[in-house]
């Protein structure tokens, strides 16, 4: 199996992470403009479908409180609620163009590769390049991008289709990923990658995108 295909990987665009009524927003961690984020992600999804690229949705969820692990100590608001399987908070944010024929991966930790079948799925699909979108830039997106690099998978981060809660952490994460772990590009350049055209890499000044200026 060759590994020269490109796939779109969308990470954790779920109610608890992104919706104003989610548990993260209740804790003061807000995505500034979730509707704009959905629009930018859907533009990537449309490009992937137009060029017959796999679309993979990654969702964070836990079956019970014990499964949260050490994160329950570091983020106490997640000890007894948030991202629980079968709840509204674990469901995708409204408006996303998710379809039954797409692929779905559920994960228990920040990285989409940790304790999941993502690596096996990418091997089956012959994917060697991932265009990455979603939240949170400096946690789940960056963790996944690093793990992709460790597996010799090329990652292209769509800078205006990822979101964080703290602006400087978001921007520093984009800068860090753009060193060796990924190519960080504007959304239109990510579309070019999905279309099989060369990307325009942005390293020191990543494209602007929605991120909250909250500084908790």
What string of pLDDT tens digits covers the 216 residues of the chain? 445 699 999 999 999 999 999 999 999 999 999 999 999 999 999 999 999 999 999 999 999 999 999 999 999 999 999 999 999 999 999 999 999 999 999 999 999 999 999 999 999 999 999 999 999 999 999 999 999 999 999 999 999 999 999 999 999 999 999 999 999 999 999 999 999 986 555 443 444 444 443 333
Q: List, by residue number, the catalytic residues.
A: 12, 107, 140
Find out whether 175 and 207 touch, Cβ atoms under 8 Å.
Answer: no
Residue 143 maps to a domain: yes
Structural domain of residue 29, as residue ranges?
5-194
Residue 47 maps to a domain: yes
Number of domains within the chain: 1
Residue 43 maps to a domain: yes
**Does pTM top 0.85 for this prediction?**
yes
User: Which CATH number goes with the domain that contains 115?
Assistant: 3.40.50.850
Residue 123 maps to a domain: yes
Residue 138 maps to a domain: yes
Residue 207 maps to a domain: no
What integer pLDDT is reported at residue 37 of this predicted model? 98
Residue 199 maps to a domain: no
User: Which tokens go with 216?
Assistant: 């908790």
Residue 202 maps to a domain: no
Q: Which residues of 35-74 are buried (b: 16+ CB within 10 A; e: fewer)?
A: eebbebbbbbbebbbeeebbbbbbbbbbeeeeebeebbee
């Amino acid at each position: 199996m060759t590994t020269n295909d490109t796939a779109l990987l969308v990470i954790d665009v779920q109610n608890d992470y992104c919706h104003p009524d989610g548990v993260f927003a209740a804790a003061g961690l807000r995505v500034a403009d979730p509707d704009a984020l959905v629009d930018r992600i859907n533009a990537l999804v449309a490009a992937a479908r137009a060029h017959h690229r796999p679309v993979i949705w990654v969702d964070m969820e836990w079956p019970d409180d014990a499964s949260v692990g050490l994160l329950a100590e570091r983020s106490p608001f997640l000890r007894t609620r948030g991202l629980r399987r079968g709840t509204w908070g674990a469901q995708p944010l409204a408006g996303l163009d998710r379809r039954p024929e797409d692929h779905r991966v559920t994960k228990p930790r920040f990285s989409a590769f940790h304790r999941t079948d993502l690596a096996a799925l990418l091997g089956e699909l012959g994917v060697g390049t991932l265009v990455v979108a979603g939240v949170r830039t400096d946690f789940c997106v960056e963790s996944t991008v690093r793990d992709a690099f460790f597996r010799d998978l090329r990652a292209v981060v769509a800078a205006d289709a990822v979101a964080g809660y703290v602006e400087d952490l978001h921007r520093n994460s984009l800068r860090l990923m753009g060193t060796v772990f990924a190519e960080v590009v504007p959304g239109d350049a990510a579309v070019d990658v999905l279309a099989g055209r060369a990307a325009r890499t942005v390293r020191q000044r990543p494209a602007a995108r929605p991120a909250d200026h909250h500084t908790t």
